[in-house]
A and B are shown apart, each in its own frame.
Chain A
Amino acid sequence: MAPKLPIYMDHAATTRCDPRVVEAMLPYFTEKFGNSASRNHKFGWEAEDAVEKARDQAAALIGATAKEIIWTSGSTESNNLAIKGAARMYAKAPEGQTGRGHIIASVIEHKAVLDPCKRLQREGFDVTFLEPGADGVITAAAVKAAMRPDTILVSLMWANNEIGTINEVPEIGALCHEREVIFHTDATQWVGKMPVDVDRDNIDLMSWSGHKIYGPKGAGALYVRRRKPRVRLEAIIDGGGHERGMRSGTLNVTGIVGFGKACELCATEMQNDGQRLLTLRRKLETELISKLEVVQINGHAEKRLPHLTNISFGFVEGESLLMGIKDIACSSGSACTSASLEPSYVLKSLGVGDELAHSSLRLSLGRWTTEEEIDFAVASIVKAVNHLRTMSPLYDLHNEGIDISKIVWQAH
């Protein structure tokens, strides 16, 4: 059966809300519209009950207790609160002075981690940005080597959003706990797809978003450890003292209800989803490699998320490839798809040549991806790559046996 077009293969960007999530949310727009902070009437109590139920659902997904969940607007806010909040709370010198403490992050973090870290640098903190290996993985050994006596915070993503590679999070967390360093992980691409136990995995702070796990946009959470160690944060948003003073503002009750339901569904379905999507992703990769030459899967062969692949097609530019597969919604690491005209900094940091970084596609599968859609995607990509290669001067040079990397180009 032909799939319905266009096909969505950009689940690392966002996911469709699960209908069961929407159903759970709906009453909280209308009849149960109360403010969860209204302590003296039924409307408030209903909303508060709903928020606390969602907190239980979120905590259950990650092996935490409900009191350790702080509601936010999404991972960007969670990352900001975790990184700025912990750095400022555990600073070794007052504001305005240098030597306030050392932070370890990596160059392949999302901008929502990189930019808060850069702001802290301007505020007098030292930040080390680790480089991944060619496989895209940040190892515990690399973190250990970067540790200093004044290190106060380590912030490393669990799985990378562009290439899906998985960092050594439990090992890095153990290292941090040995040295009494706070460990934050941006787990936006991981939670809800892969199992988490914050105690087993040695996590102090963890960010995730509702809209990546088949929940609504605008709802996120930050896990904040309360025991061994009890982590404290300096708030960024001050006001009514909501969320134990860590994040003021009337709670997004509908969003939180959806977030909780999405977590509950992931807890029961992620294992099956993961297995199914791994099979589909392997089929996608295997068929593309068998039908096209000079195809490269970026990132570690095994230590990768089951539902995401980042593939470079030699001699073909990514944005033109996206144009050729307009019935498939996905992303490219090509410069042309961003405002900056720079190719993906993640791919560049792996030592993937700039040319192959320009030639990359990120395809991320999700709960409703079907085998028919995979077949359609393979056929479309093969057709578009072949079409573009007939136009590609680089492909001609390749066929003439000329090594493109040895040519001196007249760059603009």
Chain B
Amino acid sequence: MAYSEKVIEHYNNPRNVGSFGASKDVASRKDVGVGIVGAPECGDVMQLHIKVNDKGVIEDAKFKCFGCGSAIASSSLATEWIKGKSVDEALTIKNTQIVEELSLPPVKIHCSVLAEDSIRTAISDWKKKNGVAEAAPKTAAAH
């Protein structure tokens, strides 16, 4: 499969790779929202950490991704787009915008859906921790 230049560029130079701490530490941090979506057996897991200030602005974002080049590029792009946005602005990002920006082929649309989901899940985690909304988080939980 031929990748678009933008996918290759993100794959080679992924933006904002990392995390704001180990999973057990960020679970209790109120300034960090955590979104983990996908599953290893499906071949895609995206982890998004967002650091949100008291004005509700995403000051920083870090991702990690187990997945194909398109999944890596989608999550890398997502971190670029949400940094500096308020959580409400970030929630307006649609997977179709990611598809368009990265020229993803139809079989890779699910990568963009995962990226959008990771944003929603991370924001909902942050909102829950801060009593902003009641939306249930979709983070992965250990047995």
Task: Give the interface segment out of A33-41, A236-244, A317-325.
Answer: A317-325
A293 part of interface (Cβ distance < 8 Å): no
Q: Closest residue to B72 on the A side, CB-wise? A: A320
Main secondary structure of the interface of B (DSSP, over half): mixed
B44 part of interface (Cβ distance < 8 Å): yes
Q: Which residues of A contact B114 (CB under 8 A)?
A: 412
Q: Which residues of B contact A358 (CB under 8 A)?
A: 40-41, 43
The reply to whether B39 and A411 contact each other, CB–CB distance below 8 Å, is yes
The reply to whether B40 and A354 contact each other, CB–CB distance below 8 Å, is yes
B67 part of interface (Cβ distance < 8 Å): yes
The reply to whether A317 and B43 contact each other, CB–CB distance below 8 Å, is yes
Task: Report the bound CA distance from A167 to B38 in whole Å.
Answer: 36
The reply to whether B68 and A317 contact each other, CB–CB distance below 8 Å, is yes
Question: What size tier do the contact residues of chain B reach?
Answer: 35 or more
A128 part of interface (Cβ distance < 8 Å): no
Q: Which residues of A contact B42 (CB under 8 A)?
A: 335, 354, 411-412
Q: Which residues of A contact B44 (CB under 8 A)?
A: 317, 412
Task: Give the interface segment out of B19-27, B85-93, B96-104, B126-134.
Answer: B19-27
B81 part of interface (Cβ distance < 8 Å): no
B77 part of interface (Cβ distance < 8 Å): no
Q: Which residues of B contact A393 (CB under 8 A)?
A: 19, 36, 45-47, 64-66
The reply to whether B38 and A323 contact each other, CB–CB distance below 8 Å, is no
The reply to whether A320 and B11 contact each other, CB–CB distance below 8 Å, is yes
The reply to whether A411 and B143 contact each other, CB–CB distance below 8 Å, is no
A175-198 vs B, CB cutoff 8 Å, 1 = contact: the mask equals 000000000000000000000000
> Closest approach, in angstroms, between the C-beta of A270 and any C-beta of chain B?
34
Q: Which residues of B contact A343 (CB under 8 A)?
A: 41, 43
Q: Closest residue to B49 on the A side, CB-wise? A: A393
A290 part of interface (Cβ distance < 8 Å): no
Task: Report the bound CA distance from A129 to B43 in whole Å.
Answer: 27
The reply to whether B43 and A336 contact each other, CB–CB distance below 8 Å, is yes
Task: Report the bound CA distance from A319 to B69 in whole Å.
Answer: 7
Task: Give the interface segment out of A300-308, A369-377, A396-404.
Answer: A396-404
Q: 7 tightest A-B contacts by CB?
A: A354-B41, A409-B39, A355-B40, A393-B47, A393-B64, A411-B39, A319-B68
Identify the A interface with B (CB < 8 A).
Answer: 315-320, 323-324, 334-337, 339, 341, 343, 353-355, 358, 390-397, 400, 402, 404, 406-412
New A-B pairs, 14, CB < 8 Å, besides A353-B40, A409-B38: A317-B68, A319-B43, A343-B43, A354-B42, A355-B41, A390-B17, A391-B14, A392-B66, A402-B23, A406-B142, A407-B143, A408-B141, A411-B42, A412-B114
Can you give 17 contacting A-B residue pairs, CB < 8 Å?
Answer: A318-B43, A320-B68, A320-B72, A336-B43, A343-B41, A354-B42, A354-B43, A392-B65, A393-B46, A393-B66, A395-B66, A396-B22, A400-B24, A411-B42, A412-B38, A412-B42, A412-B44
